[in-house]
């Protein structure tokens, strides 16, 4: 098909969904299906509100807009680039974070527990003053922690200086530099001597067999942030042992 075959957003959306399904894409970096992924990419590319698809479906598109949308669709379908890397953003709830290929796309279930202050495990969440986030990646969890625990300071640790550069951008975007300290360390090795009231981590946990079978989208993420050894538990064991 050529750009002249498309005149409205509805045309491009229908094409994108079919293109994604036929390409056998793997979802899981913010969307769970071809329709949601296509809608997100198209709305983002046009700088339209991400939660308002219907009002724009029959809007007439300029030729340059059609060309831009087709380029995004093809990049996702052919190169298998995760949508978050294309748009340079990822969402956890209502929080927007900058992401690029230096970090994995945020998708931690821990994010769903943070607003409740881990009440099932913490006797007094309001007494939490020092929090440690190991393997912080993009720095999304410290941002959420700072909101949920307003009296706490968070040390956010990663072994990758590239990941910490992304985390710095997100910490600064939320004006949290005075409450979140970013530290380059192999887990606890280079950390200052300090007691923490809460330690969280979303470490690499993919076992070797699963790593060998990762879909193309996941192979574009930093492997150091995914590979957890033969059984996926290498870093988990170190984290638990070091927390004792």
Q: What is the mean pLDDT of residues 134-141?
A: 98
| Gap between the Cα atoms of 138 and 107, Å rounded | 11
Residue 9 predicted with pLDDT over 80: yes
| Gap between the Cα atoms of 110 and 7, Å rounded | 42
Count of CA atoms in the C-beta half-sphere (13 A) of 34: 17
Residue 244 confidence class, pLDDT cut points 50, 70, 90? confident
Tens of pLDDT, residues 142-197 = 999 999 999 999 999 999 999 999 999 999 999 999 999 999 999 999 998 889 99
For the packed helices 140-148 and 161-173, what is the interaxial angle rounded to 10 degrees? 40
pLDDT at site 193: 85
Other CB atoms closer than 10 Å to residue 36's CB: what's the count? 15
The average confidence (pLDDT) of the chain is 96
Residue partners of 16: CB distance under 8 A and separation at least 6: 34, 38, 41, 42, 69, 73
Residue 124 confidence class, pLDDT cut points 50, 70, 90? very high
| Nearest alpha carbon to residue 45 among 20, 22, 13, 1 | 13
Other CB atoms closer than 10 Å to residue 81's CB: what's the count? 17
pLDDT at site 96: 97
What's the pTM value of the predicted model, to 2 decimals? 0.94
Is 229 within 8 Å of 207 (Cβ atoms)? yes
pLDDT at site 5: 86
Longest dimension (CA), the chain: 64
| Nearest alpha carbon to residue 131 among 154, 148, 114 | 154
Residue 1 predicted with pLDDT over 80: no
| Gap between the Cα atoms of 155 and 64, Å rounded | 45
| Gap between the Cα atoms of 99 and 167, Å rounded | 9
Residue with token string 């219907």? 54
| Gap between the Cα atoms of 81 and 85, Å rounded | 7
Residue 97 predicted with pLDDT over 80: yes
CATH architecture, range 106-243: 3-Layer(aba) Sandwich (3.40)
pLDDT at site 108: 84
Which numeric CATH code is attached to 3-87?
1.10.8
For the chain, what are the domain ranges? 3-87, 106-243
């Amino acid at each position: 098909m050529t750009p002249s075959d498309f005149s409205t957003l509805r045309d491009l959306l229908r094409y994108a969904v079919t293109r994604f399904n036929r390409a056998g894409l793997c979802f899981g970096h913010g969307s769970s299906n071809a329709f949601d992924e296509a809608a997100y990419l198209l709305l983002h590319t046009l700088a339209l509100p991400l939660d308002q698809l219907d009002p724009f479906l029959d809007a007439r598109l300029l030729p340059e807009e059609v060309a831009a949308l087709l380029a995004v669709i093809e990049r996702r379908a052919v190169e298998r680039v995760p949508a978050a890397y294309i748009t340079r953003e990822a969402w956890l709830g209502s929080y927007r974070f900058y992401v690029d290929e230096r970090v994995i796309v945020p998708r931690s279930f821990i994010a769903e527990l943070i607003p409740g202050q881990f009440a099932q495990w913490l006797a007094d969440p309001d007494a939490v003053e020092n929090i440690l986030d190991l393997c912080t990646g993009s720095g999304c969890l410290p941002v959420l922690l700072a909101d949920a625990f307003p009296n706490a300071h968070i040390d956010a640790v990663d072994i990758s200086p590239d990941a910490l550069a992304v985390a710095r951008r997100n910490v600064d975007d939320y004006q949290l530099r005075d409450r979140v300290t970013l530290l380059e360390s192999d887990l606890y090795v280079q950390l200052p001597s300090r007691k923490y009231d809460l330690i969280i981590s979303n470490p690499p946990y993919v076992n070797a067999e699963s790593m060998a079978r990762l879909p193309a989208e996941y192979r574009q993420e930093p492997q150091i942030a995914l590979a957890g050894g033969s059984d996926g538990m290498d870093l988990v064991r170190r984290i638990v042992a070091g927390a004792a």
